[in-house]
Amino acid sequence: MSLGNDLPGWNRIGNAGGAEGAINRDETLSGAHRLTIGATSDLPTLVGAALPTGLTSIMIVPESAGDDIRMNHAGAATASTARVPANGAVIPIDKTTADTTELYFDGTAYATLLTFVPRN
């Protein structure tokens, strides 16, 4: 299935079939955050705290399907980097990469960020 301008490895939420949109059963929710996205900001800045040690994946869900939120790992997010799908995305990611991941929106947008760590 082509995700268009979305990054490889992302799973859209709400698609039928396969593991798309699924959280791994070996993961548990470690945090939920409402993000205010404007210009370019990294995830720790948007969260206002350090991301959890042992991070295994994140889920980002824009509050408005019409918001064209962009993301980039290890570099500045711009209007031409990968788009966060309107219905959200589950992204397998480690803490080191997540710490340098940036979100971008031209104006102000809101999104929910869920963080997951291994289940003990």
- Collect contacts of 63-70 with beta carbons under 8 A, ≥24 apart: 63/109, 63/110, 63/111, 63/112, 64/109, 64/110, 67/105, 67/109, 67/110, 67/111, 68/105, 68/106, 69/37, 69/103, 69/104, 69/105, 69/109, 69/111, 70/103, 70/104, 70/105
- pLDDT score recorded for residue 4: 43
| Model pLDDT for residues 32-70, shown as the tens digit of each residue | 999 999 888 899 999 999 999 999 999 999 999 889 999
pLDDT value at 111 more than 80: yes
- pLDDT score recorded for residue 16: 37
pLDDT value at 112 more than 80: yes
pLDDT value at 78 more than 70: yes
CA distance 69 to 79: 8
| Model pLDDT for residues 2-28, shown as the tens digit of each residue | 334 454 444 544 443 334 456 677 899
Considering the entire predicted model, what is its pTM?
A: 0.81
